[in-house]
Every structure is written in structure tokens, then in C-alpha cells.
Amino acid sequence: LLGVRLLHLFANGQTAISFKRRMAQVRQTELRAVLPYLLLAAIMALGLGLRYHNLGYMSFDHDEMGLVTRSKGIYKLGFPYTIYAGGVRWLTTYEAVPYPLALSGLIFGYSEWSMRLPACLMGTLCIGVIALIGRRLFNWRTGLFAALVYACMPLNIRWAQNAFYLTQCQFMSMLTFWLFYEAIRVRPLHRRYLTAAAVTFCVAYLSWEGSGFILPALFIALIVIRWGEWWWLKEFHLYRCVFFIAVVVIAQYCSRTIAGSPYLQVGSGLSNLTGPSLFFLTPAYNPTFYIDKLWLTENHVFFTVLILLGVPFCWRHRGFRYVLTVLVMLWILHTNFLAASSPRYSYYFQPLVIIAGSAAATMLYDRIVSLAHREGNSVVARIPAHATGLAVMTLLFLQSNEWLMKEYSLSSRGDEPGFMTRMNIYRYDYRGAAQYVKSHVQPGDLILPGIPHVFAYYAGMPGDYFLDTLLGSKVPYNQLLAQPRFVDKFAGLPVVRNLTELREVVYRSRRTWIIFAPYSSFEKLSNPNVLDYLDKNAKVEFETYRAKVLLVERANQPKNVAKTP
């Protein structure tokens, strides 16, 4: 009996040891499953810190201020609007952007910090979306590496510190790319993912209409992924989602037409772009614009090279085909069918360059290692293979930011730095110019602000006139004034359209302040005779980042110039 009891104890001891071993294996498995999410949380925390640092340091630019001003209308009428030519005009572009600004303003008040906080948070969430896209289309290594690159790239940090539409549009666009892929990767199409993709597309479209090119790009991607398969044409839910999207798009176009039809206005602006056009048939067509501004910009050169190297080896991978198809199609559509070119227009699909380049790097790394393993268990072959792959990944990350390497010469336009492509570059100091005029203005002085609504915000007082001698921006006609005339679209100030009107304004006061901010734009958009007049009669009183404050005193005017009655 004693021997039997000892055997039981021995058996229980062996059971306990095996149980401990199994628990250790379970904990190790759980740790491996949780570790990618912990790394992603650390990357997102790093990205949040980089984006939050000096969030409210720079003054508002005119694009930010326009949305901030319109967001205040949500508290009054429930939708963003501005007073335009004496009446209420609702926002006809970026319709979805002011709502996060209004919510942040309601909670924290209105300031540079609070208005940029939604962009900062959405830019941080976009890091997680990129990681999950990389994981679902490829693997965790690709997703985490792409997320780390995106978190540290100056272009993405800078735009996440700006209250304009770009970060929100990019965040919603990346969600659309991910959800649509999840919908088409199975048969039949996953209805919930397809519905969610339709909703996020509509929010992206209402953040900026140019993102409407996503729709044809996704259609081509569906054909490429399901090449030779046509069963998806019978999916009724797909047509319901397309109908929902069509209703939103048509309603937005109708809203724009109805809002602008009652107003007489002259000049040109981006609001003239009502939709896609055959831009490649016009003299302004530039087929290499987005090659310079997207593919060969400073931190994208190595990613572009790796994408080109990876096409022959990675094209069979379904995730790589999807990302590359959407990326190339959006590049072609923006180059040929949008009658305006700007680096920011390609920003909403810019992360696809990072994801495609990262995926090509990891797959080429795996291919090199697999070739080394074919040689057997030779350490001599495996060590160089791993060293080569790690060196490529390290170089790809280091060149994507400015903390170690200064790769400006890699860019096709390295001598022309963009405002949002490098760190520590101040855009326009509207705040300094407005505060200087506020502290030096005297009773009876006239003020001609460069951007009236930004000046009014920082100076706490409106300007008097708006200088627009080449009609470089749209100006509406306000028939409700005591003397009906053209006014600026930002604050409703009377427009000075030529040198004669400028002289008339100058002679009405002893001193006239003219704020050139941004200075380079006013040099390009002002009549040469006006610039000559100011060069002879005005004195630069204050100069800051890309802004100048000029003062014209009536005593300095030539005596042979007759006053306009």
C-alpha cells in the first residue's frame, strides 16, 4: 500500500511538471500573439509624441483659418457656413472637416492647439490603420515597419499638425482601402466590410472632392484581384453601395451649384474645378508633376526604387497587386484628369507608397533568405543573406526621416524644399504681422490685410480694404453695400482692383498699412505698376517668416498726383 501511494505521488509530480511546461508554452504563445500589438502601441505612442510636440507653435495659415471660421457656424445653424456677399453661404467643399474642429472647440475652446488636435489624433490613428493594412495584406513585419516609417516621416508629422483637410481625408481613405480589400478577398463579397467601405469613402469625399478618384481606382483593383472572375457582378449589395455613393456625390455637386449660382463673382480659384476633366488636352498639362512630387520627393525615392525592383518578384502576391494597382491608378487619374496640380492633392494616398515599398523590401528579404536556405544549413550563406536584408530595411527607415540622414539631394527638386516635407520650417507668420500692426496702428489709419480673416483673428479688429489687382482670387459682388462693389470672399472687405483705386485709398488717410503675407504670393498676383508704386512710396516696417508689413504715409506721396474725386 505504501508503494502504491509513493507511485501516486511520483505520478502527480510528473503531471505537475508537464502541466507547468504546458502553461509555459501557452504563455509563450500568448506573448507572441500579443507582442505585435504591444509594438504597435509603442509605435503609435511615438507617433503621437512627434505630432503633439509644438502643436500650437505656428500661426494659423489661411486654409486652416477658413475652416476654423466656418466651424463656428455649426453652433448657430447646425452646419458650417460663412457670410458671403451679405448672405449666408454654406460650405461647398471640405464639408465634413469642420465638425471635429467644432467638437474640439466646444470642449477646449478655440486656439491653434485645440483646432489642430483632431488632425493630431487622426494622424496617430492612421499609424494603426497602416499597420493593420500591412498585416492583413502581407504580415506583421510589413505592417509594423510601414507604421514605424509613417510615424517618423516629416511629411506625415507636419500635416498631422495642421487643421486643414488633409489628415482627415487620408485617414478615411486608408480605412476605405483596407475595408474594400477585406470585402473583396472572399467569395461572396463581405457585405459588412463593403458597407463600411462605402461609408468611409463618402466621409473621405466630403473631406475633399478630389478623393472621388478612389472609386475608379478600386474598380480597377477589383478587376485585377479577381482577374477572369465575373461572379461579383451579380452581387446586389455592391450596387446598393454604389447607389448610396452616387447619391452623396450628386448631392454634393448640386449643393455647390445651388450655393454659387446667386452670386456674381470674378477671378479664378480652385472652386472653379467642379469635377474631372480632360486635363491632358490642355496647355497646362504636366505629366511629370506627381513623379517629382510623389514618387521622387525627398523621403520617397528609396521606396519608389524598391517598388520598381519588387514588381517582377512580388506581382503574384495578391496584396501587393492590390496596393500597387490602387497607387498607380490614383497617380494616373490625378495627373491626367484633375485640372490643378499640387503636392497636397496626392497626400491622401501617399501611405500606399510606404506600404508598397515596405512590402517589396520584406518580400525581397524573404526571397534572399530562402535562396540561402537552398544551399543547405551553410552558415556562410545564411549570415550574408540576413545581413543584406537587415541592411536594406535599416537604410529604408533611416532615409525616411531627418534624424540621421539628410537625403535632400535624392529628391528631383532637392533645392526647392516644400513647406510640409521637412521639419523646422515655418510656413507663414500671420500672427506676428497682425500683432505688429495692432500695436502700432493709430486712429484714422487704413489697413489692407493680405488674408483678412486671419488678420482679424490675430489682431482682434477687421481690415478696411483687400488688395487684388490681378483678380488672382475669386471676389464676389456685394449689392447690399451703401456703394455696391466687389468684396473679398473671406471677410467681405471692399476690393482694391487697380493702381487708381489704391491711390484713392491711400489719400483718404494719413497712413496706410499694407500686409503682404505671404509675400511671394502677392508679388506674383499683383499688378507690376502697383508693385512699382509701393516700391517707391512704401517703407517696410516689419518683416517675419514670408511676410512683410508696409507703411505708406500720405506726406511721402508725389505732389503732382491728382486726387481722385
Digit-coded pLDDT (tens) for 260-282: 655 566 655 555 566 788 888 98
Using a cut of 0.85, tell me whether the model's pTM lies above it: yes
pLDDT of residue 519: 81
Strands annotated E in 34-177: 81-84, 87-90
At 204-219, the pLDDT tens digits run 999 999 999 999 999 9
- Mean pLDDT of the 484-505 span: 85
Percent helix, strand, coil in the chain, to 5, is 65, 10, 30
Higher pLDDT, 526 or 321: 321
Angle at 102 between CA 454 and CA 436, to 5 degrees: 20
Are 55 and 157 contacting, i.e. CB atoms less than 8 angstroms apart?
A: no
Q: Is the pLDDT of residue 527 over 60?
A: yes
Q: Is the pLDDT of residue 85 over 70?
A: no
- Mean pLDDT of the 22-31 span: 72
SS3 of 345-378: the string is HHHHHCHHHHHHHHHHHHHHHHHHHHHHHCCCCC
Within 61-111, where are the H helices? 62-71, 73-77, 98-108
The three cell numbers locating residue 163: 487643421
The three cell numbers locating residue 517: 503675407
Q: Is the pLDDT of residue 312 over 80?
A: yes
pLDDT of residue 86: 66
Amino acid found at 199 = V
pLDDT of residue 326: 97
DSSP per-residue letters across 114-160? HHHHHHHHHHHHHHHHHHHHHHHHT-HHHHHHHHHHHHH-HHHHHHT
At 338-361, the pLDDT tens digits run 988 889 999 999 999 999 999 999
Find which of 323-337, 391-405, 528-542 is predicted with most confidence, using mean pLDDT.
323-337
pLDDT of residue 250: 93
DSSP per-residue letters across 250-275? HHHHHHHHHHHTT--EES--GGG--S
- Mean pLDDT of the 222-230 span: 93
At 69-84, the pLDDT tens digits run 999 999 999 999 887 6
pLDDT of residue 350: 96
Amino acid found at 379 = V
pLDDT of residue 410: 67
| Residue 156 to residue 351: CA distance in whole angstroms | 9
Q: Is the pLDDT of residue 381 over 70?
A: yes
Lowest mean pLDDT among 67-81, 429-443, 516-530, 550-564: 550-564
